[in-house]
């Protein structure tokens, strides 16, 4: 498995501001992923982050809104920019282990007022 | 990309009974199918997974079956206990083949264990 931590665990933000979420893994991994889980909904993949290259975004998600950094093999950040109430969600990072097995962090619960 | 359908959305069973959750997928090239359990306020926890080279996998009270011809897979929980109450998600690789490009999730099943 993997030990994954996220910061902050939760936050309440004002519309128009930005929040950067951090994801730290206990050992080096090639692939890191960011997901969004809207209230009472399932998980939706935002982007895939590989170290040393630009993140790959899924349809409906753009870099200007969700810029991602991946400075090394144990760390990544996701920024939610120019937030609106519709961005209120749980944001989750995950990592690959043993081929395609994915493990998730505890999530960051974001409320935008 | 992959499309995953999950049923039922809510499942209520008596403690000690069995629970079955079913999922279908669209991409016949998909070869990896994980199941996650999410408790309130927590991230999803991987509970079992299956690859396309086997039809069934068991881990104590939990089992997963896979029918590649019909493109469906199911989670079976036997002798349910109160701590099994949670939301369960099935998933499949978002793109053909393995999950290295992320996962597509079903909509989730809220499992309620009645005492």
Tens of pLDDT, residues A35-51: 999 999 999 999 999 88
B36:A58 CB<8 A: no
First to last CA, chain A: 36
Looking at the predicted structure, is the pLDDT value of residue A18 above 60? yes
Which stretch of A33-37, A99-103, B42-46, B47-51 has the lowest confidence by average pLDDT?
A: A99-103
For the segment A66-109, what is each residue's pLDDT rounded down to a tens digit?
999 999 999 999 999 999 999 999 999 999 887 778 999 999 99
Which stretch of A37-41, B49-53, B60-64, B95-99 has the lowest confidence by average pLDDT?
A: B95-99
Give residue B96's pLDDT.
Answer: 60
> Would you call B94 an interface residue with chain A, using a CB distance cutoff of 8 Å?
yes
The alpha carbon of B17 is separated from its chain's Cα centroid by a whole number of angstroms, namely: 18
Give residue B100's pLDDT.
Answer: 61
Report d(CA B9, CA B33) in Å as an integer. Answer: 19
> How far is A8 from chain B, CA to nearest CA, in Å?
14
CA distances from A6 to A39, A67, B17, B35 (A): 19, 17, 36, 22
A2 or B63: which carries more pLDDT confidence? B63
Give residue A4's pLDDT.
Answer: 96
Give residue A50's pLDDT.
Answer: 86
- Residue A52 sits at the vertex; the CA angle it makes with A49 and A55, to the nearest 5 degrees, is 30
Looking at the predicted structure, is the pLDDT value of residue B65 above 80? yes
> Would you call B52 an interface residue with chain A, using a CB distance cutoff of 8 Å?
no
Residues in B closer than 8 angstroms to A29, CB to CB, are none
Looking at the predicted structure, is the pLDDT value of residue B98 above 60? no
Give residue A5's pLDDT.
Answer: 97
């Amino acid at each position: 498995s993997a030990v994954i931590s996220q910061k902050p665990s939760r936050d309440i933000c004002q519309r128009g501001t930005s929040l950067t979420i951090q994801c730290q893994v206990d050992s080096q991994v090639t692939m890191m992923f960011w997901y969004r889980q809207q209230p009472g909904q399932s998980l939706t993949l935002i982007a895939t982050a590989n170290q040393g290259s630009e993140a790959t975004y899924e349809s409906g998600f753009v870099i200007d809104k969700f810029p991602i950094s991946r400075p090394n093999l144990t760390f990544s950040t996701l920024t939610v920019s120019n937030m609106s109430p519709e961005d209120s969600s749980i944001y989750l990072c995950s990592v690959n282990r043993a081929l395609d097995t994915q493990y998730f962090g505890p999530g960051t619960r974001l409320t935008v007022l | 990309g992959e499309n995953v359908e999950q049923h039922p959305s809510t499942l209520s069973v008596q403690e000690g009974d069995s629970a079955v959750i079913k999922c279908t997928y669209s991409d016949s090239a998909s070869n990896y199918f994980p199941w996650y359990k999410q408790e309130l306020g927590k991230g999803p926890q991987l509970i079992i997974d299956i690859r396309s080279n086997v039809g069934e996998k068991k881990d104590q009270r939990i089992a997963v079956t896979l029918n590649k011809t019909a493109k469906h897979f199911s989670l079976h929980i036997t002798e349910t206990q109160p701590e099994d109450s949670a939301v369960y998600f099935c998933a499949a690789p978002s793109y053909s083949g393995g999950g290295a490009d992320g996962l597509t999730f079903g909509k989730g099943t809220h499992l309620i264990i009645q005492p």
